[in-house]
């Protein structure tokens, strides 16, 4: 899984260790082998409490909690990754392939029960954008901010409503029993963490409520389940801990878009009170409460459609389980169509990717921020991929190369990590290894795509100890020392002042020069602030 749960929670910046970059060892820890069909890791954040506890959340593959002892300090927490098959968007809905000529994605979603081959992604491979320097303060000419009333737009909020959190982007999600005819069979959950580093919808049971949880049908169908009818459950590993709970099916609505009858994880579901031993030993800390996770759930919208392709081939430790009883669960081999799904891939339209659009910030940050999550890339007028966007191909796991301080390391762009995570021992550090230089540093790194093109990206690193005392929810100049010298995580600070595009593997997006096949990221600077 690609879950790097980055937490940011009241006075608690938790820090997630990256034992290795996105190398084979990390992928293996998540059930992946580095190939196209492997599982990926997700990066999701966790609450951060400034000064006393603050979390720079990042998730790494094996998902051990690496929070510093004691109640003070900033922790970077991550989540272990879940990948998708990279075969396009599978999910409920019709099997249509989408229209390629009119700018729609051409990545239609396959019907439930199928493997979800989606579109072939054979559109023009295109070329990455030029190697110009990207700077949010330098202007640019992105499309106008779409009206909130557009059906493919949802609001993003970054605030301290759940405690003192830092750089945690939240969206509101409506969950309903499949094909519900009224809102009486639905619950709306706010403050769901938006994570481009993981796959799937995961909601805390206490946020969903016992009544609706009981109305959601349980997912069954493990390939190695002798009965074929045992309910499925999942252990989702994060760098700061784990989420354990059942898999159930629900209609999921974000903004005006609905993914119908898809598998979602209900974390801390009382129906399955016993966490498997391998989940506890690998995950260490239970994140199944709002206080522990710093959110009411996670919305994983990374580059893949399905959560963990490797688990469709063989039962993996601390991943999927079939449960013969509430207290007896065994490692499961789960077909892709029965795994948790990227909700975007489950939409009937605008399902080839997303755009996250956040305003630029002043040097000391901002108490709260609002932005937009736009569904689809090049599918309608409000999500066009314009000529000045920098486009960089990535792997199915969402990785590219980052060149920093004359070293090339694995990089990932991840909204679920609440700081820039990289290793530079020349920069002074403060609480829990957050960078704390005496004066704000102006630095730069270069992103290099999988086909060799690049974009130089300037960024700033301020004194985190000082910023945490302000108590603001949003900062674009926070960074932390990575324990791994082989990883550069472009966390949420990268998103401020930009439109950042995530296009799914197996999908394609219309550009001004033709169709471009995913997976890729793209970004451009904004001309407005809030």
The CATH number assigned to the domain holding 274 equals 2.40.70
Residue 434 lies in a domain: yes
384 and 328 inside one domain: no
Better-scored residue on pLDDT, 504 or 107: 504
370 three-state secondary structure: strand
Q: Report how many domains make up the chain.
A: 2
> Does residue 97 fall inside a structural domain?
no
Please provide the average confidence, as pLDDT, over all residues in the chain.
79
Residues whose CB falls within 8 Å of the CB of residue 8, separated by 6 or more in sequence, listed in order:
45, 46, 47, 48, 54, 55, 56, 57, 165, 166, 167, 168, 294, 418
448 within 8 A of 402, measured Cβ to Cβ: yes
Same domain, 247 and 381: no
**What is the predicted pLDDT for the residue at 34?**
32
pLDDT score recorded for residue 135 = 64
Residues 233 and 325 in one domain: yes
Pair (332, 192) in one structural domain: yes
Residue at 472 is within a domain? yes
Q: Are residues 181 and 290 in the same domain?
A: yes
Cβ partners under 8 Å of residue 273, min gap 6: 326, 327
Q: In 367-453, at which residue ranges do the beta strands (DSSP E only) sit?
A: 369-375, 390-393, 399-404, 407-413, 420-422, 441-448
Residue 154 and residue 137: Cα distance in Å, rounded? 25
Query: Other C-beta atoms within 10 Å of 417: how many?
Result: 38
Of 35 and 486, the structure prediction assigns the larger pLDDT to 486
Mind listing the pLDDT tens digit for each residue in 448-478? Answer: 998 888 999 999 999 999 999 999 999 999 9
pLDDT, position 133: 60
The Cα–Cα gap between 116 and 128 comes to 27
Q: According to the model, what pLDDT value does residue 476 have?
A: 98
> What's the chain's Rg over C-alpha atoms?
20
Q: Which residue, among 326, 344, 231, 230, has the nearest Cα to 275 in the 3D structure?
A: 326
**Which residues span the domain enclosing 385?**
377-525
Residue 74 has pLDDT above 80, yes or no: no
Q: What is the pLDDT of residue 483?
A: 87
Asked whether residue 2 is assigned to any structural domain, the reply reads no
Write out the E strands in 293-406. Answer: 297-301, 320-325, 328-331, 353-358, 369-375, 390-393, 399-404
With beta carbons less than 8 A apart as the criterion, state whether 193 and 5 touch. Answer: yes
pLDDT digits (tens, 9 = 90+) for 223-246: 999 999 999 999 999 777 899 999
- State the pLDDT at residue 123: 38
Q: What is the pLDDT of residue 138?
A: 43
**Per-residue burial over 92-115, b = 16 or more CB atoms within 10 Å of its CB, e = otherwise:** bbeebbbebeebbbbbbbbebeee
- Choose among 476, 412, 482: nearest CA to 158: 476
| Last residue within a domain, chosen from 304, 328, 346 | 346
Per-residue CA distances from 123 to 101, 120, 314, 509 (Å): 10, 8, 32, 9
User: pLDDT > 70: what percent of the chain?
Assistant: 71
Q: Are residues 325 and 416 in the same domain?
A: no
Of 305, 327, 346, which residue constitutes the final position of a domain? Answer: 346
Q: CA-CA distance, 526 to 530, in Å (whole number)?
A: 11
- Residue with structure tokens 């430790």? 317
CA distance 116 to 119: 9
pLDDT for 279 = 97
The Cα 424–Cα 441 span in angstroms is 12
Q: What is the mean pLDDT of residues 470-487?
A: 96
Task: Convert the pLDDT of each residue in 371-400 to its tens digit.
Answer: 999 999 999 999 999 889 999 999 999 999
**129, part of any domain:** no
Q: Please report the pLDDT score of residue 88 as a whole number.
A: 36
Q: Is the pLDDT of residue 8 over 90?
A: no
Q: Which helix (H) or strand (E) holds 200?
A: strand 199-204
pLDDT tens, residue by residue, 81-98: 333 333 333 333 333 333
Residues 214, 334, single domain; the answer is yes
- pTM for the model: 0.79
Question: Which one has a higher pLDDT value, 208 or 136?
Answer: 208
193, pLDDT greater than 90? yes
Residues 6+ apart with CB under 8 A from 350: 105, 152, 257, 344, 375, 376, 379, 380, 383
pLDDT for position 136: 64
First to last CA, the chain: 34
pLDDT at 527: 62
Instruction: Report if residue 148 sits inside a domain.
Output: no
195 with 331, same domain: the answer is yes
Whether residue 74 lies inside any domain: the answer is no
Tokens coding 345: 């891939």
As a three-state string, the secondary structure of 21-58 is CCCHHHHHHCCCCCCCCCCCCECCECCCCCCCEEEECC
The answer to the question of residue 365 being in a domain is: no
Report the SS3 class of residue 464: helix
Burial of 48 (0-12, 13-18, 19+ CB in 10 A): buried
Q: Could you tell me if 57 and 239 are in contact, meaning their C-beta atoms sit under 8 angstroms apart?
A: yes
pLDDT at 451: 87
Same domain, 417 and 341: no
Residue 396 and residue 312 share a domain: no
pLDDT(5) > 80: no
> What is the per-residue pLDDT for 115?
36
Tell me the C-alpha to C-alpha distance, in Å, between residue 358 and each of 54, 373, 389, 420, 465.
22, 9, 15, 16, 24
CA distances from 92 to 114, 235, 336 (A): 9, 23, 12
What's the pLDDT score for residue 134?
A: 66
Asked whether residue 322 falls in the same domain as residue 402, the answer is: no
- Comparison of pLDDT for 122 and 462, the residue scoring more: 462
Please state, in angstroms and rounded to a whole number, the distance separating the CA atoms of residues 492 and 56.
10
Instruction: Specify the pLDDT at position 104.
Output: 37
Is the pLDDT at 516 greater than 90? The verdict is: yes
Q: Do 200 and 271 have their domain in common?
A: yes
Cis peptide before 31 (omega within 30 of 0): no
* Domain final position from 302, 324, 346: 346
């Amino acid at each position: 899984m690609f879950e790097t749960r980055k937490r940011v929670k009241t006075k608690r910046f938790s820090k997630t260790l990256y034992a290795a970059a996105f190398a084979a060892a990390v992928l293996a820890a998540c059930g992946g082998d580095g190939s196209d069909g492997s599982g990926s890791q997700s990066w999701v954040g966790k609450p951060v409490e400034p000064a006393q506890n603050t979390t720079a959340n990042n998730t790494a593959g094996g998902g051990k909690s690496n929070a510093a002892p004691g109640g003070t300090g900033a922790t970077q927490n991550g989540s272990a990754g879940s990948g998708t098959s990279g075969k396009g968007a599978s999910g409920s809905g019709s099997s249509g392939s989408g229209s390629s000529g009119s700018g729609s994605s051409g990545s239609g979603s396959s019907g439930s029960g199928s493997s979800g081959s989606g579109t072939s992604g054979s559109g023009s491979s295109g070329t990455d954008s030029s190697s110009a320097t990207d700077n949010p303060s330098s202007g640019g000419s992105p499309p106008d901010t779409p009206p909130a009333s557009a059906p493919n737009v949802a609001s993003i909020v970054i605030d301290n409503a759940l405690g003192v959190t830092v750089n945690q982007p939240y969206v509101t999600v409506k969950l309903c029993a499949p094909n519900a005819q009224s809102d009486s069979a639905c619950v709306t959950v706010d403050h769901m963490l938006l994570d481009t580093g993981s796959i799937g919808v995961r909601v805390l049971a206490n946020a969903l409520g016992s009544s609706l949880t009981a109305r959601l049908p349980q997912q069954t169908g493990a390939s190695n389940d002798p009965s074929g009818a045992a309910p499925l459950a999942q252990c989702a590993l994060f760098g700061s801990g784990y989420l354990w709970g059942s898999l159930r099916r629900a209609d999921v609505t974000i903004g005006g878009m609905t993914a119908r009858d898809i598998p979602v994880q209900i974390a801390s579901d009382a129906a399955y009170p016993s966490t498997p031993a391998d989940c506890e030993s690998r995950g260490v800390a239970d994140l199944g409460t709002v206080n522990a996770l710093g959110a009411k759930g996670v919305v994983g919208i990374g580059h893949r459609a399905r959560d963990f392709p490797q688990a469709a081939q063989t039962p993996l430790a601390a991943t999927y389980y079939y449960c013969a009883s509430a207290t007896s669960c065994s490692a499961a081999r789960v077909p892709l169509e029965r795994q948790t799904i990227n909700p975007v891939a489950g939409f009937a339209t605008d399902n080839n990717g997303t755009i996250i659009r956040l305003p630029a910030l002043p040097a000391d940050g901002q108490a709260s921020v609002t932005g937009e999550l736009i569904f689809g890339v090049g599918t309608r007028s409000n999500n066009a991929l314009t000529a000045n966007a920098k486009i960089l191909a990535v792997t199915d796991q969402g990785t590219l190369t980052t060149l920093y301080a004359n070293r090339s390391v694995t990089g990932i762009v991840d909204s679920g990590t609440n700081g820039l995570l990289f290793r530079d021992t020349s920069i002074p550090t403060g609480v829990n290894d957050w960078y704390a230089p005496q004066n704000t540093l102006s630095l730069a790194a270069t992103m290099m795509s999988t086909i060799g093109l690049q974009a130089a990206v300037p960024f700033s690193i301020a004194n985190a100890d000082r910023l945490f005392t302000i108590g603001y929810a949003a900062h674009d100049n926070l960074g932390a020392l990575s324990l791994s010298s082989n990883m550069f995580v472009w966390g949420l600070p990268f998103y401020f002042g930009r439109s950042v595009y995530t296009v799914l593997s197996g999908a394609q997006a219309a550009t001004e020069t033709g169709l471009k096949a995913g997976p890729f990221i793209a970004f451009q600077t904004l001309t407005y602030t809030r």
